Amino acid sequence: MPLALLALQDAPARLPDVELRPVVVEGRADLLVGRADSASEGVVGPAQLERRPLLRPGEVLETVPGLITTQHSGAGKANQFFLRGFNLDHGTDLATTVGGVPVNLPTHGHGQGYTDLGFLIPELVGAVWFRKGPYFADVGDFGSAGAVELDWIESLPRAVATMEVGSFGWQRGLFADSFGLEGGTLLAAAEAIHHDGPWSVAENYDRQNSLLRLTRGDSSRRESWTLQASRAEWTATDQIARRAEESGLVGRFGSLDQSDGGDSERVSLAWHREDLRGEQQSRLTAWAAWSKLELFSNFTYFLDDPLNGDQFRQLDRRAFAGVDARRTFCGSTFGREREVTVGMQLRTDSIDNALDRTSERAVLSTVRADEVWQSSGGLFGEWRQGLTDWMRATAGVRADGIVSPRLSLAFGPFAGSELYLSGGFGFHSNDGRGALTDDDSATPTPLDGRRVDPLVQTRGAEIGVRTVAIDGLQSTLSVWLLDSDSELLFIGNAGNTEASRPSRRYGVEWANWWEPRDWLALDLDASLSRAAFTDDLPVGDRIPGALTGVIATGVTLKDDAAQRYVTLRWRWFGPRRSPTSISTPPSRSPCGWGSRRVSDSPQTGDRTAAAARLGAAGSAAVSRGSSRAATGLPSPDVTAAAPPPPRRRDGALAGRGGGDGGEAAERSACGGRPADADRAGRLLRSAVERGRAARPAAAVAGRGGSNCGRSAGR
């Protein structure tokens, strides 16, 4: 459609020269009255980023109103994200790019859309562009909830040398500088981090990041080459059983498996070119990258395998490359400004991943190993047209094997304010292994999994207003809705596919930035949302892990001339919704979901919540994902006391799996065998007291119990 319209309108070839007005962003400009296409898009510039106190690199994304980043299972692992009623886990439905290179990893060994931002050097991030909802034609996979683009700076006014020393073994060193080179600018940086954390077993987190970026050109034509490398390793204390803490077996910051943790690596090379002269403006980005994650986790300790323990390894290695090419044609139609953009995005991933049963990081057996070659491509077109002096429209369409139309209308400005109506179709992809296989390698029954659709459609709509009518104040208010045909997931912890259910999310967001004085800046972002399954299954409609509210606010005292500032920030998020049963109130859940402690501390947040959720059975807590990963092939030395119950194939989920971050359902309280819980507890106590568990030849304990702990959400 956009190509046909373009041919009709450009035929006379007598259009006037049009030069787009430059937009220079220093602080917060998420309003962009007269330019933006929706109420929930914006950009954060270097001035605000410079004044933002950060405890983790991923917190750069918290400059996006309503977006929360937390951490669990060690600082080297990807952040956990929450946005618009989604528990996005490690990035599903949040499309993220850095320097034009996509960060989300499809068909990943730990989770679909895995997004690790540990390679970011915050001082070198030049801007954060954000857009929420499926209303933008150039945003494809993983972008239903939102899309965030981060870009590197091109140069530094002076060299930066930083040495930091803090509590819990915190050490950080950074050196960065830029140099003139062959008619361009070379930016070079190296960063090293070490952190032990408050844990009884030191986290021993080590990360090294480096960056080289060569930029050449002027405001009309620019080229850049960016080489980035990152490496990390760590020990993760993970969640602990509450009963273990209350009995004094371990302290709150103790560990029940001292070999949990992992290591990761990432290398990327990107080339970007922009030609912004005349009526046709083009942008081309080509990139290639390699990454690796090796993650060791143990959520149930000795419940399924009393001799070797329940630790498992998730491994993902991949090489991936892609191209993003787009061209914008500027002109006028019927005397009004027009922009037409057409583009293409291609990507291919060569993936090796595996799920193994391990003991103290030594592989005992393989649950599944996969080699995946995955390619994707999308075409998009977008027409932005002024219709009257007070109205403009942006219509777009995207094709990725599924057609996604998008439309936005902007009315105004009226007294410094604009009204927006936006709607569109989007999608998210499912793990490629789930689309091609229907056998669950973690259980002995053949063909017991369920194939999933490779692409799942989403639909969203939004109405919003933004204003700068009050001097110094920028404010936006939006009401949004998002439907998803299915929350289908590949459960990386278990090596099998789970079909979840159709869902609806809706909410309201309010974002404010106010500078009443040259030396004072205030911000307040608040959002409320509701997430629910839309079918009528008797297990209820709650979507586990979905946040219902986010508030983030801060005050900054600044002296721009002297480049000094003091910032105080506060944030609140929660509660995270837990599943309910049709016969038990949520506050009295037999699975321990009723009493939860939630902390947003960067070191303890999800670990604390996980420990509180494990309930009275403590060491008997079992996540469906990890228990299935530990069953493997039956040992001739041990006979199962009872076969596992039949699996439901309709996606109805009564509980929540604990495969990630310690979100677990307790087997003894949900139909499991109390004898297993007692035996696991005794073995666990013995193992901790001796410092290690006895490790004879591999044997697998049979398991009974119900599907109460099946994963129900992200």
pLDDT tens digit sequence for 78-118: 998 999 988 888 888 899 999 999 999 999 988 888 999 99
Mean pLDDT confidence for 277-302: 92
Strands, DSSP E only, in 518-653?
A: 520-533, 549-559, 564-573, 621-622
| The token pair that represents 173 in the structure block | 């060193």
Give me the sheet containing 80-83, strands edge to edge: 68-70, 80-83, 86-87
pLDDT of residue 317: 97
pLDDT of residue 577: 64
Mean pLDDT confidence for 409-430: 93
| The token pair that represents 32 in the structure block | 């962009």
pLDDT of 156 over the 90 cut = yes
| The token pair that represents 404 in the structure block | 């996604």
On whether the CB atoms of residues 432 and 106 are closer than 8 A, the answer is yes
Q: How confident is the model at residue 618 (pLDDT cuts 50, 70, 90)?
A: very low
| Closest C-alpha among 370, 374, 327, 368 to residue 348 | 374
- Whole-angstrom CA distances from 298 to 229, 240, 322, 395, 511 are 29, 10, 35, 49, 40
Does this model's pTM top 0.75? My answer is: yes
Angle of CA points 191, 194, 200, to nearest 5°: 165
| The token pair that represents 375 in the structure block | 């390619």
Mean pLDDT confidence for 19-30: 49
The two beta strands, 68-70 and 101-102, are unpaired
The two beta strands, 336-359 and 205-217, are unpaired
The two beta strands, 280-297 and 261-275, are antiparallel
Q: Look-up: residue for tokens 């119990």?
A: 705
DSSP lists the bridge partners of residue 645 as none
More confident residue, 273 or 277: 273
Report the alpha-carbon distance of residue 629 to residue 442 in Å, rounded: 6
On whether the CB atoms of residues 172 and 431 are closer than 8 A, the answer is no
| Closest C-alpha among 516, 517, 513, 519 to residue 554 | 513
Strands, DSSP E only, in 430-502?
A: 455-467, 473-484, 489-491, 496-498
pLDDT of 683 over the 80 cut = no
Q: How confident is the model at residue 130 (pLDDT cuts 50, 70, 90)?
A: very high
Residue environment code for 422-439, b if the CB has 16+ CB neighbours within 10 A, otherwise e: bbbbbbbbbbbbbbebbe
| Closest C-alpha among 259, 303, 312, 252 to residue 682 | 303
pLDDT of 692 over the 80 cut = no
Report the alpha-carbon distance of residue 458 to residue 503 in Å, rounded: 10
Report the alpha-carbon distance of residue 652 to residue 655 in Å, rounded: 9
Q: Look-up: residue for tokens 């993220």?
A: 96
| Closest C-alpha among 146, 138, 122 to residue 65 | 146
| The token pair that represents 281 in the structure block | 């403006």
Q: How confident is the model at residue 545 (pLDDT cuts 50, 70, 90)?
A: confident
Q: For the chain, give every domain's residue range.
A: 2-251+263-690
Mean pLDDT confidence for 9-27: 43
- Whole-angstrom CA distances from 287 to 101, 274, 275, 306, 320 are 6, 15, 18, 47, 8
Q: How confident is the model at residue 184 (pLDDT cuts 50, 70, 90)?
A: very high
Q: Kindly report, residue by residue over 369-405, the tens digit of the pLDDT.
A: 999 999 999 999 999 999 999 999 999 999 998 999 9
Q: How confident is the model at residue 178 (pLDDT cuts 50, 70, 90)?
A: very high
DSSP lists the bridge partners of residue 498 as 489
Q: What is the DSSP letter of 596?
A: -
On whether the CB atoms of residues 345 and 95 are closer than 8 A, the answer is no
Mean pLDDT confidence for 338-355: 96
On whether the CB atoms of residues 254 and 261 are closer than 8 A, the answer is no
Report the alpha-carbon distance of residue 187 to residue 248 in Å, rounded: 52
Mean pLDDT confidence for 491-517: 79
Report the alpha-carbon distance of residue 144 to residue 114 in Å, rounded: 15
| The token pair that represents 422 in the structure block | 């936006």
pLDDT of residue 86: 87
| The token pair that represents 554 in the structure block | 């801060």
On whether the CB atoms of residues 73 and 238 are closer than 8 A, the answer is yes
On whether the CB atoms of residues 262 and 315 are closer than 8 A, the answer is no
| Closest C-alpha among 696, 588, 619 to residue 307 | 696
Assigned fold of 2-251+263-690: Maltoporin; Chain A (2.40.170)
Q: Look-up: residue for tokens 């990761």?
A: 264
CA dihedral 23, 28, 31, 33 (to 10 degrees): -30
Q: How confident is the model at residue 303 (pLDDT cuts 50, 70, 90)?
A: confident
- Whole-angstrom CA distances from 338 to 194, 211, 219, 334, 406 are 52, 38, 22, 9, 17
Report the alpha-carbon distance of residue 436 to residue 454 in Å, rounded: 9
- Residue 559 has a CB neighbour count (10 Å cut-off) of 11
Q: Which of 44-48, 435-439, 513-517 has the highest mean pLDDT?
A: 513-517
| The token pair that represents 109 in the structure block | 């060994």
pLDDT of 647 over the 90 cut = no
**SS percent in the chain: helix, strand, coil, step 5:** 10, 45, 45
- Residue 200 has a CB neighbour count (10 Å cut-off) of 13
pLDDT of 325 over the 70 cut = yes
The two beta strands, 94-98 and 146-152, are parallel
- For the chain, the straight-line distance linking the first and the last C-alpha, in angstroms and rounded, comes to 36
Phi, psi of 296 (to 5 degrees): -110, 125
Please state, for a pLDDT cut of 90, what percent of the chain lies above it.
52
Return mean pLDDT, the chain: 77
More confident residue, 641 or 185: 185
On whether the CB atoms of residues 82 and 105 are closer than 8 A, the answer is no
